[in-house]
Chain A
Amino acid sequence: MKMLGDKRSVMVACFAALNVVMYLTIKKFWIGGSSFLPMIGQMGPNNKFLFAFIVNLGVIVGAFLGAVSSGEFRLRMPQNIAKAVIGGVLIGMGVTVAPGTCTTAFVTGMPMLSVSSFLSAAGIFIGTFIVYHFTFRR
């Protein structure tokens, strides 16, 4: 328990446990990126993407409830709009070229020992390194 000593660790442990409970009870995975394909009319086989999209809409509501209950909710106007748009478009392309975002790869895919998730993780590492190296560290 020493490793789970702080509150963030306990919360993330609850999050991981809930991920396993969802798989055990309704036999469905939580996926990240591909879940947004219903926004362009792609529901996936057996409405797989639609289900994940609904889960992720629930994440927004849950985060809202968490933020309100802890007094961390604060409405903030958009900043760095160009960066947000370019970043969002790149994410949209990335999640569609091959499913495998951070959520899919790190939270579900790698624990499932999915080869594609390990490859996605390597790509994410390279992509973030390039941006951090050439923009933020200059």
Chain B
Amino acid sequence: MLLIGFLFGIGFGYFVQRAGLCFAQGFGEIFMGKGKQIARLFLIVFVITSAGFLLSGLVNSSLGLKPVGQIRGYGFFNIVSGILFGAGIALNGGCILGTLRQLGEGNLTFLIVFFSFIPGMALVVYGLNPLIEKGYDIQKVLLPELLGIPAAFITGVLILLAVWGLQYLQPPQKKG
């Protein structure tokens, strides 16, 4: 299974590199007013993946929408985590995907970023974890359960919004 995962990873890495995908750069584009091309790429990912995940439940009943690795459920700590993570990716100019991609492209700055994850993770796991554990809601909740609305309806609306966004964020046309 690990070998299969590694092979999928190679595929992901190849396509990410060729697409030039990095969410940190996407936020940079938005906040610095330099276009929204990464946002457009995200919408493409969202449309395809949303439809695929939703329809996977029709192919195999053990698939479909599921909580993703959120072993601690949801709540205030997701926002705290996001702020810390967001500040980190903005500082070094690479999200997780961007870091791995640029490392593969030969940018050794991201090797330092990669190994700097270790003290940050160790601080939380071995230092702060006992405090954090007390504050967690252990539920794993999906939006349809929370809102009481069928998943297909929510996904459908979000896909329509994403397609509308794609129309709005057309790639720049080549001149000539």
Task: A15 to B56: give the CA distance in the assembly, Å.
Answer: 17
Whether the Cβ atoms of A124 and B82 lie closer than 8 Å is: yes
Whether the Cβ atoms of B84 and A132 lie closer than 8 Å is: no
Whether the Cβ atoms of B6 and A132 lie closer than 8 Å is: no
Contacts of A95 in B (CB 8 A): 81, 85, 96, 117, 120-121
Q: Which of A36, A87, A102 contacts B121 (CB 8 A)?
A: A36
Whether the Cβ atoms of B96 and A56 lie closer than 8 Å is: yes
Report the interface size class on chain A: 35 or more
Contacts of A100 in B (CB 8 A): 70, 78, 81-82, 85
Q: A79-98: contact bitstring with B at CB < 8 Å (1 yes, 0 no)?
A: 11101111111111111111
Shortest CB-to-CB span from B31 to chain A, Å, is: 4
- Considering only residues 13-32 of chain A, those with a C-beta below 8 Å from chain B are 13-20, 22-24, 26-32
The A contact surface, by secondary structure, is: helix
The listed residue with most A CB atoms (<10 A of its CB), out of B13, B118, B144, is: B13
Assess whether B45 is interfacial by the CB under 8 Å rule.
yes
Shortest CB-to-CB span from A110 to chain B, Å, is: 7
- Smallest CB gap from B96: residue in A: A32
Whether the Cβ atoms of B16 and A15 lie closer than 8 Å is: yes
Task: A60 to B111: give the CA distance in the assembly, Å.
Answer: 11
Shortest CB-to-CB span from B57 to chain A, Å, is: 11
Whether the Cβ atoms of A76 and B44 lie closer than 8 Å is: no
The B contact surface, by secondary structure, is: helix
Contacts of A81 in B (CB 8 A): 109, 112
Whether the Cβ atoms of B15 and A18 lie closer than 8 Å is: yes
Whether the Cβ atoms of A92 and B121 lie closer than 8 Å is: yes
Task: A27 to B88: give the CA distance in the assembly, Å.
Answer: 31
Q: Which of A3, A37, A70, A126 contacts B170 (CB 8 A)?
A: A3
Whether the Cβ atoms of A119 and B78 lie closer than 8 Å is: yes
Whether the Cβ atoms of B89 and A87 lie closer than 8 Å is: yes
Task: A61 to B6: give the CA distance in the assembly, Å.
Answer: 9
Shortest CB-to-CB span from B24 to chain A, Å, is: 7
Q: Which of A14, A77, A112, A125 contacts B142 (CB 8 A)?
A: A112
Shortest CB-to-CB span from A131 to chain B, Å, is: 4
Q: Which of A27, A65, A75, A80 contacts B62 (CB 8 A)?
A: A27
Whether the Cβ atoms of B11 and A18 lie closer than 8 Å is: yes
4 closest A-B pairs by beta carbon, nearest first, are A123-B82, A58-B9, A92-B120, A62-B13
B residues with CB within 8 A of A: 1-2, 4-21, 23-24, 27-28, 31-32, 37, 40-42, 44-50, 52-53, 56, 59-60, 62-63, 65-75, 77-93, 95-97, 99-126, 128, 132, 140-144, 146, 151, 154-155, 163, 166-167, 170-171
